[in-house]
């Protein structure tokens, strides 16, 4: 919240701040988005700290499907032929995981739903990205501060830590804010379907980190799920190149 506040003041967003008073619907959407993204952050951090990196990866693989479904339902976005094939492959991979395991990880589903709905809310508002993120983080900051104070008094936390740890912890806020600002910028300019497939890049890196660095075990079923999703990405990328969608978005 402090980072986005300073960024808003430096960029002279005072006029945008005045718009907050006029667009109550937009503010409500952003406040709801703040709750969703806070839940998403908490679930992701908890999962990573408990050795469930691959479950977070699968969750963010499912998330684009949620984005695409919301795009078609609420924003009347249409799919071209290759896009339909890509979507079918991605859905098949997720369904295979469900059929074999008889369930999907609560971590995966939670991450997918919270961020997918968050993206739809971002597309529905007209605030500039920095102002929007300031409103969102302001919604969660008081609760986070209260939790930190309670935890400190109860002996659960021992802040301040060493200087390096404090800087790293503060740095994660900036490292998270920058991509969210860029996400908000893109959400208003491209279709949710396109945005959904672009989001497959991040969980692919997460998958690599989980398997190659932290050596988390992966089943043949989950590997099949990931393979289907990667094939879907290839089809969608081919469609984007053939249709010139990237150039159209840039021109827009």
Residue 228 in tokens: 């289907």
pLDDT for residue 250 is more than 50: no
CA distance 171 to 53: 21
pLDDT for 136-172, tens place per residue? 888 888 988 999 899 999 998 888 889 999 999 889 8
Would you state the pLDDT for residue 110? 93
First-to-final CA distance of the chain: 30
- The average pLDDT across 227-250 equals 72
Would you state the pLDDT for residue 217? 84
Q: Which residues of 193-222 are buried (b: 16+ CB within 10 A; e: fewer)?
A: bbbbbbbbeebbebbebbbeeeebeeeeeb
Q: Which residues of 109-133 are buried (b: 16+ CB within 10 A; e: fewer)?
A: bbbbbbbbbbbbbbbbbebbbbbbb
- The average pLDDT across 202-218 equals 84
Position 244 confidence tier, pLDDT thresholds 50, 70, 90: low
CA distance 114 to 106: 12
pLDDT for residue 103 is more than 80: no
Chain centroid to CA 120 = 11
Would you state the pLDDT for residue 101? 62
- The average pLDDT across 188-201 equals 72
Would you state the pLDDT for residue 152? 92
Mean pLDDT of the chain: 82
- The average pLDDT across 5-31 equals 79
- The average pLDDT across 122-138 equals 85
**152 vs 71, residue with greater confidence:** 152
Largest CA distance in the chain: 59
**61 vs 33, residue with greater confidence:** 33
Position 15 confidence tier, pLDDT thresholds 50, 70, 90: low
Would you state the pLDDT for residue 192? 66
CA distance 37 to 137: 9
CA distance 222 to 208: 13
Helix boundaries (H) for the chain: 2-10, 14-19, 24-49, 53-74, 81-101, 106-123, 129-154, 163-187, 192-198, 201-208, 220-243, 245-251
pLDDT for residue 21 is more than 50: yes
Residue 167 in tokens: 């800087």
pLDDT for residue 249 is more than 50: no
Would you state the pLDDT for residue 94? 76
- Map out the domains of the chain as residue ranges: 23-251
Task: Give ∠ CA 86-234-62 in degrees, rounded to 5.
Answer: 55
CA distance 136 to 130: 10
């Amino acid at each position: 919240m402090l980072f986005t506040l300073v960024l808003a003041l430096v960029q002279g967003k005072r006029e945008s701040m005045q718009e907050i008073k006029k667009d109550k619907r937009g503010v409500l959407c952003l406040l709801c988005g703040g709750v969703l993204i806070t839940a998403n952050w908490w679930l992701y951090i908890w999962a990573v700290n408990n050795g469930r990196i691959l479950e977070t990866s699968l969750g963010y693989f499912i998330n684009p499907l949620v984005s695409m479904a919301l795009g078609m339902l609420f924003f009347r976005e249409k799919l071209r032929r290759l896009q339909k094939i890509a979507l079918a492959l991605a859905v098949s991979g997720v369904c295979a995981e469900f059929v074999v395991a008889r369930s999907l990880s609560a971590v995966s589903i939670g991450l997918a739903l919270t961020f997918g709905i968050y993206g739809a809310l971002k597309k529905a508002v007209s605030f500039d990205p920095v102002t929007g993120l300031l409103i969102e983080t302001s919604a969660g900051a008081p609760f986070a501060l209260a939790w930190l104070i309670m935890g400190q008094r109860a002996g659960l936390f021992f802040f301040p830590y060493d200087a390096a740890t404090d800087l790293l912890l503060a740095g994660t806020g900036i490292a998270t804010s920058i991509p969210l600002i860029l996400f908000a910028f893109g959400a208003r300019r491209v279709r949710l379907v396109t945005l959904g497939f672009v989001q497959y890049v991040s969980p692919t890196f997460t998958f690599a980190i989980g398997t190659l660095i932290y050596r988390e075990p992966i089943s043949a079923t989950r590997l099949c799920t990931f393979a289907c999703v990667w094939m879907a990405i290839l089809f969608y990328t081919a469609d984007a190149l053939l249709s010139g969608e990237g150039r159209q978005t840039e021109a827009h």
